[in-house]
Structure 1
Amino acid sequence: MGDLLAWVIATIVTIPLLGWYVIYIANVKISKNKKKSIRRASDWTTVLFMIAVYFIMLELWAKSFLWIILALFFFIALIFTWIHWKLSGDIHIGKLFRGIWRFNFLLFFILYLLLCGFGLLYRILII
């Protein structure tokens, strides 16, 4: 049973699109609301996409880019906080955090797709 659980977790971390889909389907079955299910699945799998991007970069270039990923995350948070403060004059933590988190989902989702495509081409053409 432990091996099966480890296999499922490793698969979901390695293929975050599968994790997103599983969470989306589970939320649709529970809530019957597709829009809310898309948002929840995106919110819950942001970390999976970050981990996947980290490991793809590690595999492609044999270097750890964790510091760049973390710096990018905090830079985005800083920019969002500044923009939110300038536009509303007050900082609403919940709204701000949700915006930062969802923007990071979009960023790391796009990075994941780009790095997967680059990795496939790199392995086909170079090696």
Structure 2
Amino acid sequence: MIDFIIYLIAFFITVPIFATWLLYKIIRKFKHGKLRAFHQAVNWTTILYIIAVTILLTIIFEKQFIGITLVFLLSILTVIIIFQWKMNTEILFKKAIKVFWRFSFLIFFVIYICLLLIGVIRQIFFY
């Protein structure tokens, strides 16, 4: 049973798009709102994209990118907080974290797709 759970988690980290789609379908069935279900699926699977991008970077470039990923995430959060401070002169951390998490999903989703294409092209032409 524990092996099944480990394989399931590994599969969802390897293919987070499937996890997002599956979670969207499950939440939509119970919440009945397309937009709300999409937002919930994005919120729950963002961490999978972050982990998947870090692993893909490590596999493709054969170096560790955990530190760079953390610095990148902190930089995004810093920019969002500074932008919020400049616009409103008040920082709402709950809103900043929400924007940060959704923006992280967008960035890491695009990076994941690009790295997936780079990995496939690299395997086809260079091995």
How do 1:1-127 residues align onto structure 2 when only pairs under 5 Å count?
A: 1-127=1-127
Structure 2 unaligned blocks of 5 or more: none
Equivalent residue of 2:35, what SS?
helix
Structure 1 Cα separation of the partners of residues 2 and 71 of structure 2? 35
Partner deviation per Cα, 1:11-45 (whole Å, 9 max, x = no partner): 11111011111111111011011100111111111
Instruction: Calculate the TM-score normalised by the size of structure 1.
Output: 0.97
Q: CA deviation at 1:50?
A: 0.5
Q: How high is the sequence identity, in percent, across the aligned residues?
A: 29
TM-score normalised over the length of structure 2: 0.97
More divergent stretch after superposition (112-121 vs 57-66):
57-66
CA distance in structure 2 between the partners assigned to 1:37 and 1:43 by the alignment: 10
Alpha-carbon separation, structure 1, partners of 2:67 and 2:109 = 19
Matched letter for residue 39 of structure 1: H
Long gaps (5+) in structure 1: none
CA distance in 1, matches of 2:2, 2:41: 25
- Report the Cα distance in structure 1 between the residues aligned to 2:67 and 2:16, rounded to whole angstroms: 21
Name the amino acid aligned to 2:23: I
Displaced runs of 4+ in structure 1, greater than 3 A? none
The separation in 2 between residues aligned to 1:93 and 1:67, in whole angstroms, is: 24
Q: State the alpha-carbon separation in 2 of the partners of residues 43 and 109 from structure 1.
A: 12
Q: Which amino acid aligns with 1:24?
A: Y
Shift of 1:57: 0.8
Tell me how large the CA RMSD over aligned residues is.
Answer: 0.8
Q: What SS does the aligned partner of 2:91 have?
A: coil
How far apart are the structure 2 equivalents of 1:62 and 1:107? 22
Secondary structure of the corresponding residue to residue 64 of structure 2 = coil
